[in-house]
Amino acid sequence: MTYADTLTYLYDHLPMFSRIGADAYKKDLSNTKQLCAVLNNPQQEFKSIHIAGTNGKGSVSHMLAAILQTAGYKTGLYTSPHLKDFRERIKVNGEMCSKDFIIHFTEIIKPQIELLQPSFFEITVAMAFEYFAQQKVDVAVIETGLGGRLDSTNIIVPELSVITNIGYDHMNILGDTLEKIAYEKAGIIKQNIPAVIGEALPATKAVFEDEAKEKNAQIIWAQANFYVQDFTYSHHLLKAEVAEVKKNEHHIYNIDLPGIYQTKNLVTVLTAVHQLQLKKWNIKQRDVDKALKQVKHLTGLHGRWEKIKDDPTVIVDVAHNVDGIKQLTEQLEMVSYNELHLIIGFVKDKDIANILPLLPKTAEYYFTKAQLPRALDENDLAIMAKQNGLNGKTFPDVNTALKEAITHAHKDDLILICGSVFLVGEVNG
């Protein structure tokens, strides 16, 4: 098979959560365990760091990977979903895995696909573990897909578990309360393995404490170790002054990920790095400084308050749930522009009823959708939006909407595309 044939086979034969939603979610780890057993358990061949959370886990994963590879470690990085290229999911030192590897792996695993009928995500997890083992990485940063406890990635025994935060997302699968969602995320906490919690809420703190106590795992609250004393956002760069609580020391970080929500992720990352240093990982302060200045270059992270065009400025951001949209509206308050053109589209299972009231009523809206079955029809979205005082036109795809927005915008206007990872992934350029 060619690479294109291989991807067609994987997409057509395996249920994809991104396309069909909850029906593709397998609520146990048996398939992943069997797939990896056939491959001689590649996940046992390398050290790992496991990262879960509602928002921020992708950014935290990329920041940690950038720091580790800058410190000289051969670093694997597994994330999902991808924006443009399937191989974005599986990287070593920022380089995507080879097309030949994907072809060869798929040929080998085909009998198991026919036998087990696994999900797309289960296969990609096994694929990543096999690639990292073959590449003999020193460490792999592994981002969960959904939840944690029953997530396919949760067969690893990491050096460190990291949970960024808990918010309302995927409630149809993870539960309809913060406590239930936290319980699923806390499932990545392992016996005797330290766990960093990026953001603790009154509703979730006890959940993490109970899980850590049961697993005899040390729990480290990031907010008790570091806090951002001040930050500035200008010229699409973020500068943060971070205080270390126990030492009363301050340090300035320049980050090439300009979303102000990265200040929260930075605290989580620094706490995780400190825990690795305590475990005798050779990570210097200069490694952290250097890596954070060039996360996008080192790891290929995209879609986080990312400018893709000037005059008018066009920004893409993968914010797609209540907490993500709240952070996006905070960012908008810090940005200078004449008029705001907002291109949005969602998938059907998002909490749209609670997202729409958060959006600015003064913006010009362009309602659209990603090209997948889960996407909410743009006309249905427009009707819901109008009930919340949001007015605009509908477009069948994001690039048609973007072309229209650019035509109508003045050079000092801002065009923002958000609401779905998949929508951002379809933007040309």
Q: Which domain holds residue 247?
A: 3-299
The structure's pTM equals 0.93
Residues 234 and 362 both lie in one domain: no
Name the domain boundary from 248, 272, 299: 299
**Counted domains in the chain:** 2
Q: Which CATH number covers residue 144? A: 3.40.1190.10
Q: Which CATH number covers residue 350? A: 3.90.190.20
* Per-residue burial over 316-329, b = 16 or more CB atoms within 10 Å of its CB, e = otherwise: bbbbbbbbbbbbbe
Q: What is the pLDDT of residue 351?
A: 84
Name the domain boundary from 248, 278, 299: 299
DSSP, collapsed to helix, strand or coil, labels residue 283 as coil
Residues 22 and 78 both lie in one domain: yes
Residues 102 and 228 both lie in one domain: yes
Name the domain boundary from 246, 271, 299: 299
Query: By the 8 A CB rule, do 38 and 109 touch?
Result: yes
Residues 79 and 183 both lie in one domain: yes
pLDDT tens sequence across 349-372: 878 999 999 999 999 999 999 998
Query: By the 8 A CB rule, do 263 and 254 touch?
Result: no
Please name the residues in contact with 105: beta carbons below 8 A apart, sequence gap of 6 or more.
127, 130, 131
Residues 133 and 59 both lie in one domain: yes
Instruction: Determine the average pLDDT of the residues in 83-112.
Output: 97
pLDDT tens sequence across 102-158: 999 999 999 999 999 898 999 999 999 999 999 999 999 999 998 899 999 999 999
* Per-residue burial over 394-418, b = 16 or more CB atoms within 10 Å of its CB, e = otherwise: bbebbeebbebbeeebeeebbbbbb
Q: And the tokens for 279?
A: 């475990």
